[in-house]
Amino acid sequence: MKTKTLRYSGVAFLLATASPSFASQALMPVRTPAIVSSEILDLLGIPAEKSDKALGLSYAELRPEQAAAIGHYMHANGRCGGFEALAASIESDAAFAELMQPLKKAETSRALFATHLTSLNAAPVVARQDLLQAFDDVSAEKQQAWVQFLSSFPSRYHNTSDPNVHVRAIQARLEEIAKTSKLPITIELISHQRTPQKSIRARILGSKRPTEIVVIGGHLDSISGWFGREAAPGADDNASGSANILESFRLLSQMAQPDRTIEFYWYAAEEIGLVGSAEIARDAKAANKDIVGALQLDMTLHPGDGPFTLASMEDFTSPWLRDLLVQINSAYALGAKIVGDKCNYGCSDHASWYQNGYPTVMPFESSFDNMNHEIHTPRDVINSASNFQHSALFTKIAMAFAWELANSDRREPKL
């Protein structure tokens, strides 16, 4: 219990890391005005001058040995710094309140705090033996075969004369796979109001908590030219992510039944404004569906920052799932370098889930600037820049995300 309480000192830690605050002992003045976690002050018997109960933060004027004690304590608990030293002392309650104001308001600091809390309090991801074994079957060759299959349709645009020709072909492949599985699997086409194209859902029913759902998905349409009139092979955008989800389904369907339900989606009509996923996420919310988290794969083939460097999109996504992604990468020794980036708009289907209140994560082929610039043209084909090793990495990520969430009780932390 003791450690748990102490571990809640996240805000102070964040503040400390956000500023060059941990002055060396030699330069430290006689008293250091500082913002510290109230719990830490309590614990070390250091008096607080002012406190904000809701935030759990206090203002104190620290003597060198007190500052050292906090630093020592935080280091002993695996943290550094431990407080934010201020440039000047705080004289009034109003000045303290003003300093606390941005923390109270800022959604981002709440989100950061949430991540921090989760990473401290949730059990760390530990590689599961059965999944490591399944990874032996993930290959660049198989990824290439799936991308070839999907990108050889002249177009997967949502409104061609037969916008479901590839949808039926994918469905047929899924049904073949399901036949080889012992698990309770359903495969459905989902009709939409705003497009003639259908989405696909494959579901592996959970054994213990079937109403708790983990989602992995990507869009099955492509686009090129005005009104989609040009050839639209969409090898990268998004045969690649669709292929990752197909392969994840194939391999997970050969494993044991998960505790939670896993749903695999291939969304219709993403390219004209997230149309398929918007209806699916809206309906899920209306039906009060318990979607624990949704991972989106949209473009995984072009390693614009070099092989195995990928971006984790930080808008329309959830800090605790981004954190899970980082943990999965190290626990399973996937060898990815993960950089943070943003689309700055709802660039893919994860935004549909996010806007309906569901947690999301989106690993992406590269930083936004170095992504494949041939997308939405007839030149988005398999070429010398395509890297199927890089792309196959995303299959492992999707599988580990699904497997970890579906066999644990991990959830978005509620503040």
Which of the ranges 51-59, 164-172, 270-278, 397-405 carries the binding residues for ligand BES, by CB under 6 A?
Answer: 270-278
Minimum CB distance to Zn ion, residue 32 (Å): 52
Q: How many CA atoms lie within 13 A of 402 on its CB side?
A: 33
Measured from the CB atom, the residue of 103 and 167 that comes closer to ligand BES is 167
For residue 311, what are its two tokens?
Answer: 């971006």
How, if at all, do strands 50-52 and 185-190 pair? unpaired
Check residue 274 for interaction with ligand BES (CB under 6 A).
yes
Amino acid type, 1: M
Query: Distance between CA 92 and CA 205 in Å, rounded?
Result: 59
Please, where are the H alpha helices in 47-128?
Answer: 64-76, 93-105, 107-121
Query: Distance between CA 254 and CA 79 in Å, rounded?
Result: 41
Minimum CB distance to ligand BES, residue 241 (Å): 8
Q: How many CB atoms lie within 10 A of CB 311?
A: 24
Check residue 273 for interaction with ligand BES (CB under 6 A).
yes
Among 212, 221, 237, 247, binds Zn ion (CB under 5 A): 237
Check residue 271 for interaction with ligand BES (CB under 6 A).
yes
Among 52, 61, 212, 237, binds ligand BES (CB under 6 A): 237
Which of the choices Zn ion, ligand BES, none does residue 299 contact, using the CB cut-off of 5 to 8 A by kind?
ligand BES
Check residue 270 for interaction with ligand BES (CB under 6 A).
yes
Question: CA of 244: how far to CAs of 296, 360, 415, in Å?
Answer: 10, 17, 34
Query: Distance between CA 191 and CA 280 in Å, rounded?
Result: 10
Q: Return the residues of window 315-344 that contact ligand BES according to CB under 6 A.
A: 343
Measured from the CB atom, the residue of 238 and 257 that comes closer to ligand BES is 238
Q: Name the helix (H) or strand (E) containing 295.
A: strand 290-296
Minimum CB distance to ligand BES, residue 208 (Å): 35
Measured from the CB atom, the residue of 246 and 347 that comes closer to ligand BES is 347
Check residue 212 for interaction with Zn ion (CB under 5 A).
no
Measured from the CB atom, the residue of 138 and 245 that comes closer to Zn ion is 245
Which of the ranges 127-135, 251-259, 318-326, 363-371 carries the binding residues for ligand BES, by CB under 6 A?
Answer: 363-371
- Percent composition of the chain: helix, strand, coil (DSSP 3-state, to 5): 40, 15, 40
Among 185, 268, 347, 400, binds ligand BES (CB under 6 A): 347
Q: Name the helix (H) or strand (E) containing 263.
A: strand 260-267
State the residues that interact with ligand BES by CB under 6 A. Answer: 237-238, 270-271, 273-274, 298-299, 343, 346-348, 364, 368, 371
